[in-house]
Amino acid sequence: MKPDLHKLYIGCRSYRRFRQESVPQEVLQEIADTARMRSCALNRQALRYLVISSPDMVKKLHPCFRWAAKLPKEIGTPTEAQRPTAYIVLLKPEKAHAFADIDAGIALDAMAITAWSHGVGSCILGSVNRKILSEAVKIPAGFDVQIVLALGYPDHKSTIVEAGTDDSLSYYVDEHRDYYVPKKSAAETITYL
CB-count exposure of residue 180 (10 Å: 0-12, 13-18, 19+): middle
List the Cα angle 130/39/126 in 5-degree steps: 20
Q: Do 135 and 149 lie in a common domain?
A: yes
10 and 75 in a single domain? The answer is yes
186 and 126 in one domain?
Answer: no
Q: Are residues 119 and 186 in the same domain?
A: no
pLDDT at 110 over 90: yes
Shared domain check, 174 and 101: no
Taking residues 111-129, what's their average pLDDT? 96
Largest CA distance in the chain: 54
Quote the pLDDT of residue 46. 92
Domain of 117, in residue numbers: 5-156
For residues 40-65, one letter each, b for 16 or more C-beta atoms within 10 angstroms of the residue's C-beta and e for the rest, the string is beeeeebbbbbbbbeeeebeebeebb
Residue 65 has pLDDT above 80, yes or no: yes
Alpha carbon 52 to chain centroid distance? Answer: 14
pLDDT of res. 1: 60
Q: Within this chain, do residues 74 and 144 fall inside the same structural domain, yes or no?
A: yes
Q: Does residue 123 sit in the same domain as residue 172?
A: no
72 versus 110: the higher-pLDDT residue is 110
**Domain of residue 25, CATH code:** 3.40.109.10
pTM of the model: 0.93
In tens, the pLDDT along 6-31 reads 999 999 999 999 999 999 999 999 99
Length of the chain as a residue count: 193
Q: What is the count of structural domains for the chain? A: 2
Residue 149 clears pLDDT 90, i.e. is over it: yes
Question: What is the domain-level CATH number for residue 193?
Answer: 2.20.180.10
63 and 95, same structural domain? yes
* Pair 53, 145: CB distance under 8 Å: no
Q: Do 101 and 60 fall into the same domain?
A: yes
| Alpha-helical segments (H) within 38-176 | 55-61, 73-76, 100-117, 130-136
Residues 113 and 168 in one domain: no
